[in-house]
Structure formats: C-alpha cells, structure tokens
Structure 1
Amino acid sequence: MTQTLVFVLITASIALLTYWKCRQFGSRGTGAKEYFLAGGSLSWIFVAGSLTLTNINTDTLVGWNGNQTLIVVWWELAGVAGLLLLAKVFLPIYYRNNCTTVTELLERRYGEPNLRATVAFLFLLGNVAIFLPIMLYTSSLFLISLFDLQIPLLLVAATIAVAGALYAIFGGLRAVAISDTYSGVLLFGMALLVVFLALAAVDWNLADLPPERITLIGDANSKVPWHTLLTGMILSQLFYWSTNQTITQRALAAKSLKEAQLGCYAAAVIRATIVPAIVIIPGLCAFKLYGETGDSTYGRIVSDTLPHWLTGAFAAAMVAATMTSFNSTLNSSAALYVCDLHQRYFNPKVNITRLSVSVSILFALLGIGLVPLYMGAESIIQLIQQLIGLFSMPILAAFMTGLLFRNVDARAVIASLLFGAGLYALLTFGWEAWYATAPDARIKPWHFLHVMFITVCCCIGFALAINRAIFSRRARFDFRKIA
C-alpha cells in the first residue's frame, strides 16, 4: 500500500509541476512551430533535460544492464560525439534553414517534397513499429519484475501508453520537455542510488568477474568488437543525435541556436559522467550475485537492494522515464505526419492541434498492439540497435549525399533509400538466417555495425551512380558549402 501511495504521489507531482510550469509560458499557439517546437521557448536546461531523458529510459536501463558486460558502455560514450556533432555541425544548418522537422532540410537541399515525404514515412515506420512498442515492453517488464505483478504485461503497457500520450496530446512539446527534465532529476537520483546499493551488495569489488565481462576491448565475438568503433558506431550515433526527428526536435525548440548548443553540451557532460555508471554497474553487480539473468536483471537487482519503502519512488521514476521517451516519440511522429505528409498531400490548412491528437491516439494504439512482437527477445537493446539500421543508415546516407554533393537528382536518392534498406536486411537478417542453416560455412555474418558502415557507403555510391547513369547529371563534391 505504501509503495502504491508513493508511486501515485510522485507521478501526480510531476504532472502538476509540468502543468504549473506550462501555465507560466501562457497560452499555446495552434501553429506547427508552437505545437511541435514549443514556440521556440525552451531554455538550455530544458533542452538538456529533454535530450537526456528522451534517450535514457527503461529500454536503456533494462537493456544495457541486461547485457551484464562493460563493453556496451561504448554505445553511451559514443553518444557524446553524437551530441557534439549535433551542436557544432547540424544545428547551425537546421537553424539557418528555419526547419520544423529534419526532413525539411532534405526538401530544401534537393528541391523535392517527395523525398521529404519518403524519409518522413520511414521515420514513422521506425517510431511506430520499433521504438513505441519496445519502450512499452521494457517498462512493463521492469514493473512486473520489481513488484512481482500477476497481471498481463499488455495491460501494464496500455496503462503506461495512455498516461504518456496525455502529455504529448494535450501539452505539445513544451509539456514533454518540461516533464522530461523534472523526471530526469528523479530518475538519475534513484538510478545513482541503485548503483551505490548494488556495489555495496558485492562489497565494492568487481575485480573477480570473468575478464570478458569487464574488458573495453572486444574481440570478434564480443557485443561490440573493437573495430566496429571505427566503422558503424560513429555513423549510428550521427544518425541518432543529428538526423533523428525525436532527438533534434528538442534542440530546434530552443530560444536560440546558442541555447540549443548549450543544451547539447550539458547533455554531453551528463552522458560522459553519469550515464555510463547507471547503465553498466548494476548489471555487472547482478552477474556476480545471480549469474546471467538477461533483461530481467535490472528489475531484480533493484528489488533486492532498494529499501522496500523506496520501490514506489523508483517505480515512479522509471515510469516517468518511459512516459517521457514515449511521449517524445509520439510528439515527433505527429510532427512528421502533420508537417511532412498531411499538410503536403491532403490539406495544408488543417487544424494542427486536432489532427495531432487524432494521429497521436492512433500511433499509441498501434504501439500497444505491437508489444507482443518483442516479448522473449534475447537482448532487447541489441535488437533495437540492429533493427533501426534498416532505415537509419539509408536516411543518414541521404543527408550526407545532400550535404556533401551538389547537382544530385532527388529521385536517385529515393532509389538509394530502397536499395539501402534491402541491402542492410540482406547482410544482417538474411545472412544470419542463412548461416543458422549452414553453421559450417567459412564466412560468418558481419557485425551489424560493420553492415551499417557498408550500407551508408553503398547508398551514397548508388545514388551518385543512378544520378549519372539514368538522370545524366554529374554530382559535384562541395564540402565548403555544407551550410
């Protein structure tokens, strides 16, 4: 009873604080920038908070700790480089081009709205089919593990989805960013406490763990082979932080470019100093205590180490983290649909608020319905990273082609998007399926991070080749005019 009361009180307090802070900004406008970019009113503090909490949620805490190895910390450390690239390279371009969505930049570069719509559709497909259901699945799994709940996981997922959607539907990005920041203070405080208690449970000694669990130099069979740091790792971070609507939308909502960059720098500091500890140490401690426990690791060690009276507060922090990521993805998905698809092809004068509410409800329902697809995954976080390559690398290649070359026909880039998705699917899922039936084959499937690098290079080459062979246009490399 005490746990439930604490949970309800904290969750309600975050909602009330968000409502009070939003009221201070006055009434919200009905235009796209007012609804999706908070009218350009966010200070660097809320930009940093929203960037951090949109990324750190249950799929991160549950997934990385579930790997129970140190090597996966490279994903978080590489994120620092991604944030710096966003601040120094991409944000000045987005602000100069007055973009509401990242796909606007593609339209301006290529002069072709159909390319913008194609990329927006791919973003929507990834958000609805991958990110939304996985967020709901991991948060529900955590709560069930923490409280030993005897209720269906799908019911827990639906409850979280409804609560998270309310922020995105009725508050727009301003409410999302503010709730992100307040939730972040709670989540990071509780997560650091779990780190402290987990280390205390193993007498502050992780030295006797198996060497492969605590190495930072991965071999070919590692979760992160060392050579992937030189290929696909940086490209995956470049896509996630610099060309991903869910992330960049927070920085585009700042009061100015300077505020946005300051928010990125603050988020980078948090990622370099606090995040590695909370996503790695509990998992390593759990391996020493229980052995290999997979994605149930984080819920178990929190339940065993955290004082009973604090579990309600921690559950509130985790649910808040999930809701912030869920509503952030929901809000960015609505922005992509409304600005890039509906206004372009159906009705340019549509009521943005009303349409956003409708599509947000639809996307939330689809996310709930797709949760069962991810139940029982061996490593949910590794699955996420592998799946997003289907659309992330072709999209990143489209941005790189547009920024680095001139005189490229947009139709060649659209063709490269389809080519890249097919190539990535063949070299990852197709090759792995074939190898499973022929394990004696000499050539093992390449790591998906290497495949990401290959996909980007091939997509750029494919677009330039089609541009020349079919559209008779010679592309010109022009790095000097990247802005």
Structure 2
Amino acid sequence: MSQVVMSGGTGGSLIQIAICLGVTAVIGLVTWLTIRREKHDGSRKDVYLAGGKLSWLFVAGAITLTNLSTDQLVGMNGNQMLLLAWWEISGFIGLLILAFVFVPIYYRSGVTTVTELLEQRYGGGGIRTLVSALFLFGMVLIYLPAGLYSGALFLKTAGIDLPLLVLAGFLGVVAAAYTMAGGLRAVAVMETYAGIGVLAIAVLIVVLALNAVDWDIARGVPAERLTMVGGADSPIPFHTLFTGMIFIQIYYWSTNQPITQKAMAAPNVREAQKGVLAAAVVRILIIPAIVVIPGVVAYQLFGDIDDAAYGRLVGAVLPPWLSGIFAAAIAAAVIAHTAAVMNAAVGLYAVDFHEKFVAKVESHWRLSSIVTVLLTISSIALVPVFASAKSIINLLQQLNGLSSMPILSAFAVGLLFTGVESRAAIIGVLWGFAFYAAYTFIALPLGAVTLHYIDMMVVTLVTSILAALAFNRFVLGGRATFAPRSAFAQRVAGAG
C-alpha cells in the first residue's frame, strides 16, 4: 500500500497535533455538558440503548457517523473512481427499509439486540446465539481494527507524522473511555457533534479539491475512473446494482447491530423513524460526493496511491490550522465510530452470552468496562493486518460476505415463513458461512469461479434460505408456510 506523508515539516505537524488534541478535548467537553444530567440505573437499556431517550437528531447523527468513519472516507476515496458512490446511493434505499419495515418490528418486539428478535420468531435460542457470535466475529476481527487502522492512516497521511500503531492506540483508548463512561448516550451525542464538523469540512474539501484542478475533474483521468457504469472487472459491475447490492444494504442498515441499535434508542417509533429518515437525506445529498470526488482529484494530482489518496489530498488543499481541525473531527469520528461498535459488541456479549451462559449481570456498566478493555487491546493488536490490504473498502465488503448473507437468511426465513425450527435456521446460516468461505478462500484463488463477490452474495443468500427450508422439511419433518402477514401478527402478539 502506498503511504505518502504530507507532514509539512515538524512545525506543521506540531500545529496539527496541538489543534487536533484541543478540538478533540472540546468535543469531549461539549458531549459531557450535554449528558451530565442524565441519570443512570445500570440496566441493559440504560447502557446499550441510551435509556430510550435519544431524540431524532442524535439518532440521525449517530447512524450517519457510525457508517461515515474513515472506512468510508479513506477506503472509498482510495479507489479513486466515481463508481464507488453507488454504495452510498443504494444506502438511501437501505435506510428507507429500516425506517418503514424494521423499526416498527423492533419496537413492537421490545428487544435490546436484533438477535433477540430471532429467538422470539423461531422459539429457540440456538439461532440467536449463533448469529450473535457471527456479529461479534465481524466486530472484533474486522470492524474495530479496520476502523482504527483507516483512522490512523488518515491522520498520518494528513500530516500527523507518528507511527500508525501510536495513532491507532490513541484512538482506541479514547474510544474505550467513552464506551465505559457514558455508554450509547455519550457515543451518540459525540457522533452527532463530530459529524457536523466532519460533514462541513468534507464538503469544503470537495470544493477546494475541484478548485485545485480548475473544476475539470476529467483531465488526465482514465474513463473507467469517471464512469458510473461499472464494467465486469470493476469493483461494482453495473448489473450487481440489481442483484446483490440491495441485499447488502438491507443487511447493513436493518439487521446490523451497531446501526439498528441507534434506531432502537429513541423514545418511540415515530421519533426513531424521523432520525432514520434524516440520516437517509444526508446519505443521498451529501455523502456520495465526499467519498469519491476527492479520490479522483487525488489521482490527477498524485497518481494512483490507493488508500493514501484522501489524507494526502487533505494535506495539500487545507492550510495547517484547518487541516488540524479536520484531523480532530476525523479523530472524533473514528473515536465515536469505534466506541459505537464497542458498545454494540459489549451489548451482544452481555445480553446474548453472559446473561445466558455465565451469570446474571448485576451492573452492565462494570461488565461493559471489562469487555471494552479486552476489545481495545485486541483491536489495536490487529491493526497491522489491515496495513497489507491494497483497498480497505473492497477488503471489508468481501469479508462481510462471510456473515452478512447467512445472517440475513435467518431473518428472511424467520420473518417470511411460519413453521420453521431454530435448528433449520442454524443449518442455513452455517451453510452460507461455509459456502462463501469456500468461494473466497478456495475457489477465487484457484480461479475455479469468476463470479463477482456481489453476485455471489445473492447465491449465498438464496442457497442459505433453501438449505434452512430443506433441512426443516426433510430432516425435521416440519412444514414451512410462506406467510409474512401471519409472521408479523405473531411477532406483535409475542411482543405482548
């Protein structure tokens, strides 16, 4: 991976570090002033769902910044092509589905984690435990270390010339402090305040970047980096927008604990929907431009430099004092994103594992602190693994397939069919995980399969559903009935 550092000299670097630390401290102070009067009872709802008191503004801010961390800014701009904007454009559809389909379901069911819904629907806890384990697998081994790595890489390439592990360690430790001190409430408030700064300066960077190339984004850039119609060998072939893309978005926005957790933390369904819809408006109007245009401009100015593109462009177009402020906003975004994933991971462990298999949780704050420390250590230790990836965003999307479609299959079968046992859903999930793993780690390296990974996600989803239904019928002797309306009525009745 190309890593070009624009430090601007020792003095510039020191200025950026000082401003970064100062603004980070201010964001922390404002967050504390906002939440200091809130009372805590140590319950799972208090720690993991902010006591059900998040207003629509903080729901929108938290959802936006949980997604828009350096994974997106660094990773998508690192591809240095406009095509990657489709991830964000299609995300608008995913948020609409969350608002109008899944939010009412979660609130009627009264759940803390999305996995609790699976147990309610199937009447057995095995599928809940398995899916929760897969979520934790992704958070611990993928999302947390990848977020710290991309954040550290941005800070380094933007001018803060310190070792990656030092920067990642700083981000991880501060994120852990937020998770332990304020739970989801503190995380959501910080995400909102940091998000306002990130979005404002990110839009300014787009304007300054275009101005740096006289608003001619096409000069000297190959056509394949400017097109929105991807070829067969591109990261997003055009036909995949109509195959796997929509299912990836449904999984990410509607069944993914770090995202849905924010939507479940409002006082009621209406407030939650307002927050999700506000996040959708931001997603479609602002996000696509800020995650692709700087990368293409960086190609004009510096050539093909992969994930170093965004940080180097920021170092080139912003003055040191303003790049220091942006570095602080990005640092706050990474901290908030990491804290959000940590809080979700701790919640899954506490509710789905500790309470079920270890002992009753007397204080979720204490348990959260212990698990958060362990997650912080493991996340920082795994940062070097991601440094060898050519494109972090493409790597993340490919790895997501290991769990995303198998998990979505469990929700699809549970919400669309009646008469399916938990054991059948487990078989479907295990099949999908093994099937996609064989494709990723065996078939692709050997050249035995050329199907794009987005297309393969559809195949994984469909075969996982079929495996669950077949096992339910031919092994367990059950009879599944396609009855989405009946299933919805049962969910409402089960919620009391």
Q: Same fold (TM over 0.5)?
A: yes
Contact 1:54–1:324 at 8 Å: present in 2 too?
yes
Partner of 1:172: 183
Q: Does 2:470 align with 1:465?
A: yes
Q: CA RMSD in A?
A: 1.1
Partner of 1:356: 368
Cα separation, 2, equivalents of 1:480 and 1:415:
25
Contact 2:183–2:343 at 8 Å: present in 1 too?
yes
Contact 1:428–1:445 at 8 Å: present in 2 too?
no
Q: 1:156 aligns with which of 167, 191, 194?
A: 167
Cα separation, 2, equivalents of 1:299 and 1:207:
21
Counterpart of 2:177, as a letter, is L
Contact 1:65–1:279 at 8 Å: present in 2 too?
yes
Partner of 1:438: none
Partner of 1:440: none
Partner of 2:103: 91
Q: Does 2:430 align with 1:453?
A: no
Q: CA deviation at 1:429?
A: 2.7
Contact 2:354–2:361 at 8 Å: present in 1 too?
no
Q: TM-score, normalised by structure 1?
A: 0.96
Q: Does 2:25 align with 1:12?
A: yes
Q: Does 2:244 align with 1:244?
A: no
CA-to-aligned-CA distance 1:2-43 (integer Å, 9 cap, x gap) = 32332122111110111011023x221211011110110000
- Runs of 5+ unmatched residues, structure 1: 436-442
- 1:274/1:482 Cα in 2 relative to 1: closer, same or farther (>3 Å)? farther
Contact 1:10–1:316 at 8 Å: present in 2 too?
yes
Q: Does 2:39 align with 1:37?
A: no
Q: CA deviation at 1:482?
A: 4.2
Q: Does 2:232 align with 1:227?
A: no
Cα separation, 1, equivalents of 2:51 and 2:295:
41
- 1:189/1:410 Cα in 2 relative to 1: closer, same or farther (>3 Å)? same
Contact 1:428–1:446 at 8 Å: present in 2 too?
no
Q: CA deviation at 1:345?
A: 1.1
Cα separation, 2, equivalents of 1:186 and 1:350:
38
Q: Does 2:35 align with 1:22?
A: yes
Cα separation, 2, equivalents of 1:426 and 1:358:
35
Cα separation, 1, equivalents of 2:190 and 2:373:
19
- Runs of 5+ unmatched residues, structure 2: 1-13, 489-496
CA-to-aligned-CA distance 1:399-448 (integer Å, 9 cap, x gap) = 0000001110111111111111110111233211112xxxxxxx652111
Cα separation, 2, equivalents of 1:389 and 1:326:
21
Partner of 2:213: 202
Partner of 2:445: 433
Q: TM-score, normalised by structure 2?
A: 0.94
CA-to-aligned-CA distance 1:295-337 (integer Å, 9 cap, x gap) = 0001111001101221210110111111111000000000000
Q: How do 1:125-144 and structure 2 match up within 5 A? A: 125-144=137-156
Q: 1:481 aligns with which of 466, 486, 489?
A: 486
Cα separation, 1, equivalents of 2:458 and 2:173:
38
Partner of 1:335: 347
Moved over 3 A (4+): none
Q: Secondary structure at the match of 2:380?
A: helix
- Point out the more displaced range, 426-435 or 88-97: 426-435
Cα separation, 2, equivalents of 1:219 and 1:138:
27
Partner of 1:147: 159
Cα separation, 2, equivalents of 1:392 and 1:217:
25
Partner of 2:280: 268
Partner of 1:100: 112
Contact 2:406–2:461 at 8 Å: present in 1 too?
yes
- Point out the more displaced range, 296-305 or 3-12: 3-12
Counterpart of 2:484, as a letter, is F
Identity of aligned residues (%): 47
Q: Secondary structure at the match of 2:477?
A: coil
Contact 2:15–2:320 at 8 Å: present in 1 too?
no
Cα separation, 1, equivalents of 2:479 and 2:17:
65
Cα separation, 1, equivalents of 2:79 and 2:211:
21
* Alignment size in residue pairs: 474
Cα separation, 2, equivalents of 1:313 and 1:229:
37
Counterpart of 2:474, as a letter, is A
Partner of 2:10: none
Q: CA deviation at 1:341?
A: 0.7
Q: CA deviation at 1:148?
A: 5.5
Counterpart of 1:78, as a letter, is S
Q: Secondary structure at the match of 2:403?
A: helix
CA-to-aligned-CA distance 1:440-473 (integer Å, 9 cap, x gap) = xxx6521111111000000000000000111000
Cα separation, 2, equivalents of 1:142 and 1:316:
11
Q: CA deviation at 1:349?
A: 4.0
Contact 1:33–1:40 at 8 Å: present in 2 too?
yes
Cα separation, 1, equivalents of 2:430 and 2:151:
33
